[in-house]
Amino acid sequence: MAQVQQQSSSADGVAWDLDGLYRAVDDPQIAVDLDAALRRAQAFEDTYRGRIQVDGGPSPSLLLTALKDLEELSELMDKPAVYAGLLHAAKTDDPARGALLARTREQGTAINKHVIFFDLEWIKIPEPDARKLIDAPALAKYRHFLERKRARRPHYLSEPEEKILDEKAVTGRAAFVRLFDETVSSMTFPLKHDGRTELLSMQQINAKLYDPDRSIRQAAAAGLTEGLENNARLLTFIFNTLVHDHKSDCDLRHFADPMDPRHLANEISNTVVEALMTAAESHHATVQRYYHLKRRLLKLDSLYDYDRYAPVFAEQPTCDWPQARRIVLESYQAFAPEAGMVVQRFFEDRWIDAELRQGKRSGAFSSSAVPSVHPYILMNYTDKLRDVMTLAHELGHGLHQYLSRPVGYLQCDTPLTTAEMASVFGEMLTFQRLLELYPEPRTRLALLCSKIEDGFATVFRQVVLTRFEQSMHQARRDQGELSTDQISALWMAANRPMHGDAVQLTDGYACWWLYIGHFIHVPFYCYAYAFGELLVLALVQKYKQEGAAFVPKYLELLASGGSDAPHVLLGKLGVDVTDPTFWELGLRLLQGMVVEAEEMAKQL
């Protein structure tokens, strides 16, 4: 860690109140709840083991009682860990909080051991018997939960095989993932500028790519490349190992395509994903058109990879916390008073932690916590207009999580593809409001450019990352272990079509795949971002067309949480993600934003 700076902002004093969960790190109720959860889990096992997987399946009433039990005890079991996680995120340098987090996690695992049998027994029930239970009216509330559990059924191995794989994964896949994380977080990158060399962390050197000064961006790009090249042998080996491990896993579990396990978890078909990616790729001209505009705005002869994140104007207005609070609240209120009321509670009841604090986790998130309490938001507010968008983003998650509480703990979470729906939608509402509130042409253009660039990062870049990942898995399959240069060639080949002649990719850029954690943590994670963003842009279009009629349907969609597959829930809004032309709606909106930016630039 570099030297620590004590920062402050207009959000000083805006800290969350976690009393809804527990009172303090040493609250005796934490141990009481963990003990109670353990006893309930043991009783659950005593009551139901051997009674789920029976001839003809259990009776609907027995299964219903078991599910209600499971739901209650899962919440009881997770509540202390959720609290510890939030406490820790707010101050990671407090050892007492770290210790509580470790303790609640360990105890959670011990409790969980008593309930694992339930899933296994449920999955083993023959299909016709299980189908009858899934369709039973008494079990309607848990239908999708039951259905989803069984979706992986064809890919489960025998119990002893599963146990062995699970056990060996600790020293196999999981060990390589940890080695990757620890390597990347301890890597240093030399920033050589003005005759001095500074050693920076990954996060710090990446931040320098956003610097208004081109020579600093150039130095940052060179430093990033140098740091990555210094570690290329180890990182390449980790990539090779994990890609091969994924292949073995797919073979053992009878998945034909390396993307199939992810599609299954996302409740989406390969056809839909391919249609989404092809549609995005047909709009590369939009990306290039924007980068040509950016080059002109930056007054450069050529735009290089290290210029992509440069701010279009160095100076930007600031926005203090009270003003941000007002802007975001008004945006949600104007959309729907009901949404506004929920958002207001986040501020008034102190469900948000926004101040800068030594040891606080960077970035932002909204935790759904547990349905019997309410969500909590963490962010680091630094008075930038960007932070206003982050606040709107996290409140979108918070609204989604708050509204879906009645669906219950087992079904409130959505798959990745729709997880970012409410957050990005909320951002769009606030973005429109900001454009109205900041009429100064350069500010408006800067806001629009940053929105376009965010859209590109979540749509086109993620499709490029997915294409690269596909080609890497294929090449590893066909050619065996790959060299850094071989993978770098695949990376450049995946990147070129999007950048075209609008962005010059330097030689150093070739190894910038080496630090992307998504490839390591969750193979084929990236397309879900593109799905979510284009879905929201289409929803924004629908809202524009339908006006007030759209609002109750949208809120109902949020309230349904993960109680059905995304395409089913979205179907109720008249959105058909299986229609290959569907993605054009969002892509055209992005294109329209680029045209608008060009117009604004002409007026300057």
Residues that bind Zn ion (CB under 5 A): 423
Cβ contacts of 327 within 8 Å, gap of 6 or more: 319, 388, 430, 433, 434, 437
What is the spatial distance between Cα 312 and Cα 449, in angstroms, rounded to a whole number?
A: 8
Find the shortest distance in angstroms from Cβ 425 to Zn ion: 11
Cβ 8 vs Cβ 380: under 8 Å: no
- By C-beta, is 423 or 458 nearer to Zn ion? 423
Residue 562 phi/psi, 5-degree rounding, is -110, 35
Q: Which residue is nearest to Zn ion (CB)?
A: 423
- By C-beta, is 306 or 425 nearer to Zn ion? 425
- The partner residues of 366 in beta bridges, in order of sequence, read 377
Find the shortest distance in angstroms from Cβ 166 to Zn ion: 30
- By C-beta, is 331 or 423 nearer to Zn ion? 423
- By C-beta, is 121 or 420 nearer to Zn ion? 420
- By C-beta, is 122 or 431 nearer to Zn ion? 431
Find the shortest distance in angstroms from Cβ 532 to Zn ion: 9
Angstrom distances, CA of residue 542 to CA of 368, 536, 571: 27, 10, 13
Find the shortest distance in angstroms from Cβ 365 to Zn ion: 7
Find the shortest distance in angstroms from Cβ 369 to Zn ion: 16
- By C-beta, is 426 or 523 nearer to Zn ion? 426
Angstrom distances, CA of residue 221 to CA of 211, 298, 304, 306, 505: 11, 18, 10, 6, 11
Find the shortest distance in angstroms from Cβ 524 to Zn ion: 19
* Burial track 313-340 (b if 16+ CB lie within 10 A, e otherwise): eeebeebebeebbebbbbbbbebbeebb
Whose CA is closest to 401, among 25, 82, 66, 11?
A: 82
Angstrom distances, CA of residue 414 to CA of 79, 400, 558, 563: 19, 10, 10, 8
What is the spatial distance between Cα 569 and Cα 557, in angstroms, rounded to a whole number?
A: 6
Find the shortest distance in angstroms from Cβ 476 to Zn ion: 31
- By C-beta, is 416 or 503 nearer to Zn ion? 416
Q: Where is 197: in which H helix or E strand?
A: strand 196-200
Find the shortest distance in angstroms from Cβ 393 to Zn ion: 6
What is the spatial distance between Cα 82 and Cα 402, in angstroms, rounded to a whole number?
A: 16
- By C-beta, is 107 or 423 nearer to Zn ion? 423
Whose CA is closest to 533, among 425, 392, 395, 389?
A: 425
Write out the two tokens for 258.
């390396």
